[in-house]
Amino acid sequence: MTIARFGAAEARTGPLTMGQANMVRCVRTDPPEHMNYRVVRPLPPETTLAAVAEAAGLLMSRHESLRTLVRDDTQQVLDGGELAIQVRESATPEETAEELARELQEQRFALESELPFRVAAVTSGGVPRQVVLVTTHSVVDATGLAVLLTEWDALILGKPLPPVTAPQPVDVAATERSPASLRRADAALRYWEEQLRRIPRSTLTVSVDDTGHEWLLPRLRVRSVAAARAMRRITARTGVSASAAVLAALSTVTGLRAGAAIVPVLSISANRFRPDLREYVGPLAQDALVPVDIAADGFDDVLRGARAASLAAYQNSRFDADALIRIMEAVQRERGVFFARDLVFNDMSIPGQGGRVSRADAEVQSTWLPEATLPTRMSLWVNRLEGELDVTLWADPRILPRADAQSIGEGVARLLIDAGTRDVPLAELAVTPVPRGDGWVRSDDCWTELAEVRRLLPPGSEVVAVPDDVLGARLVAYTAAETTVSALHSACLAALPGRMSATAPQHYVVCATSPAPGERWQDQPRLAEGSGR
């Protein structure tokens, strides 16, 4: 073991930023392998353990987020201290470093008492060969992590770095509490509430139960030089950026498969619009809720709609997460739904990014990658947009079997290629819809399976879909159980998480008796009825 020492001019205390508060909750409750970053880096020849310790200490001295403890709703920045660096000897340092990285990643950070940064070195013959860096989402988002790694690469070589000019998290928290920032945050909450009241609860709705699900997902990498060329022509013709074009194509192909007119996409917003935040080391990224309307004849209309929806969503992607949860819970109770995180878009491409492109003859090339853990139904990660479209599609095989996932992943690229030369009629797209039998109805813009709704109710109960001009189908539940309407609705809501194809009924009827053979529930004596809301 070796020790890294860090120091600063003063200790600081302040409220959490909105990004910190959002991630602290997740770090404390979600599986650590989902929330912790792990990075393995080879060390330059002749690196010493003292150099590793010095680089780690300098990095922590520069960035307050690496030496911050979280107690209640307060961040406490330490002005100095020590970080123990684990050292492991190995004849196979690369393999050992990966194993050690996984070990450290799978340990939850005790944010109130533990420095949120772990460093380990792997030696071979006593010489440091690999370094492991582990931190978590309450410390940095992906952009902030990239800043840290760039600085680490310089520090381990002994290169001097200019002073940090980006604000520290305590400074950002103070800015977020200014009157103008509070008004923007309130506007973001109003935007979210408006969208939550109208969007479907999920898109690729099938009957699954998430109990015990490990979220180990297959990943498909899709690459296409032709699609990148086509996106330049799309931008010239429509004014829609390449990123928004990929989002529109994903929404179109997915929505046609799902039988949905509106496709709600959670797009990860970096929230680094201000120049001074571009090098900020702290969590800023939050979800932007982008409802993409695909009820159009041609893809050009979807493109323009996706651009407008994206701009509005990104303008409303910094918010108080606790307040949003309260709004979401209220809307869920009112609508009788549980919002699924089933379609995520994450554009991680870098403008001006170079590098080698695929030399494959095919217009679209796809390759299956090893499975990895990600708690979402489907997610598209954009790796590159310029010179080559390079994306990775994560897909839960219960929702999208591999063949269907490949069809969607490649279909996104092929739609973009076609749209490079014309306004593609959506009726021409050959997308296989999700198979749904007679027991499925569309209620409140959500595909719902009646058998799954019955599972929410007491044994022996029934649910009937009644045609409704506003809802499409109004779900009416009947039961003879000893209960109240309010208790019925609360029990249904409690059973919804993890059940994609169920929604709570809009109306409940408590009857005196169950119907005898040949009788109908509708004709039984009624003790109580209502919405339960």
DSSP code of 298? B
Per-residue pLDDT at 250: 98
**Tell me: the pLDDT tens digits for 367-404?**
999 999 888 999 999 999 999 999 999 999 999 999 99
CATH number at residue 313: 3.30.559.30
For the chain, percent of residues with pLDDT exceeding 70: 98
Same domain for 415 and 308: yes
Does residue 434 belong to any structural domain of this protein? no
pLDDT exceeds 70 at position 360: no
Q: Is 22 helix (H, G, I), strand (E, B) or coil?
A: helix
Backbone angles phi, psi at 446, to 5 degrees: -120, 130
Tell me: do 240 and 368 sit in the same domain: yes
Indicate whether 155 and 88 sit together in one domain. Answer: yes
Do residues 447 and 439 lie in contact, with contact meaning Cβ atoms separated by under 8 Å?
no
- Give the pLDDT score at 171: 97
Which tens digits make up the pLDDT trace of 212-265? 888 899 999 999 999 999 999 999 999 999 999 999 999 999 999 999 999 999
Which of the listed residues 368, 393, 428 is the one where a domain comes to its end?
Answer: 428
Q: Output Rg (C-alpha) for the chain, integer angstroms.
A: 26
Evaluate whether residue 185 is within a structural domain: yes
CATH of the domain at 489: 3.30.300.30
Q: Are 416 and 381 in contact (CB under 8 A)?
A: no
Does 337 share its domain with 475? no
Query: Rounded distance, CA 447 to CA 147, Å?
Result: 43
Which pLDDT band, with edges at 50, 70 and 90, does 129 fall under?
very high
DSSP 499: B
Does 396 reside within a domain? yes
The yes-or-no verdict on residue 273 having pLDDT over 70 is yes
Q: Based on the domain organization, do 195 and 224 belong to the same domain?
A: yes
Sheet containing strand 12-15, strands side by side = 12-15, 74-77, 68-71
pLDDT tens digits, residue range 134-147?
999 999 999 999 99
The chain-wide mean pLDDT, for the chain, equals 95
Q: How much is the pLDDT for 20?
A: 96
Residues 16 and 153 in one domain: yes
Is 433 within a domain? no
- Per-residue DSSP letters for 209-245? B-TT---EEEEEEEEEHHHHHHHHHHHHHH---HHHH
Tokens in use for 34? 């989902």
| pLDDT at 358 (0 to 100) | 67
Same domain? 402 vs 445: no
Q: Which residues share a beta bridge with 122?
A: 88, 130
Whether residue 360 is found in the same domain as residue 212: yes
Question: What CATH number did the domain enclosing 69 receive?
Answer: 3.30.559.10
Same domain for 165 and 217: no
pLDDT on residue 352: 73
Within-domain flag for 168? yes
Q: What is the pLDDT of residues 422-476, one digit of tens each?
A: 999 999 999 989 989 899 999 999 999 999 999 999 999 999 999 999 999 999 9
59 pLDDT exceeds 70? yes
Position 164 in a domain: yes
Rounded Cα–Cα distance for residues 438 and 427 (Å): 24
Give CA–CA dist 144/277, Å, rounded. Answer: 10
Rounded to the nearest 10 degrees, the angle between the axes of helix 225-238 and helix 299-314 is 80
- One domain for residues 402 and 451: no
Q: What is the pLDDT of residue 520?
A: 95
And the tokens for 267? 């797009």
- Relative to beta strand 262-269, strand 286-293 is antiparallel
Domains in the chain, number: 3
Instruction: With beta carbons less than 8 A apart as the criterion, state whether 531 and 508 touch.
Output: yes
Residues 486-522: pLDDT tens digits?
999 999 999 999 899 999 999 999 999 999 999 999 9
pLDDT given at position 209: 84
Query: Domain range spanning residue 68?
Result: 2-174
Are 108 and 91 within 8 A, CB to CB? no
- Which pTM does this prediction carry? 0.90
Q: What angle do CA 337, 399, 380 make, to 5 degrees?
A: 95
In a domain, 361, yes or no: yes
- Sequence-separated (6 or more) residues with CB below 8 Å from residue 441: 447, 448, 450, 465, 472, 473, 475
pLDDT, tens digit, 9 for 90 and up, residues 28-56: 998 898 899 999 999 999 999 999 999 99
* Confidence label for 210 from pLDDT (cuts 50, 70 and 90): confident
User: Which of these three, 397, 428, 459, is where a domain ends?
Assistant: 428
Domain end point (choices 152, 174, 196)? 174
Segment 302-337, tens digit of pLDDT? 999 999 999 999 999 999 999 999 999 999 999 999
Same domain, 270 and 293: yes
> Tokens for 271?
């929230």
- Distance from first CA to last CA of the chain, Å, rounded? 59
Q: Which long-range contacts (CB under 8 A, 24 or more apart) does 360-364 make?
A: 360/223, 363/224, 363/226, 363/227, 363/413, 363/414, 363/417, 364/222, 364/223, 364/224, 364/226, 364/227, 364/410, 364/413, 364/414, 364/417
34 and 138, same domain (yes or no): yes
| In a domain? residue 435 | no
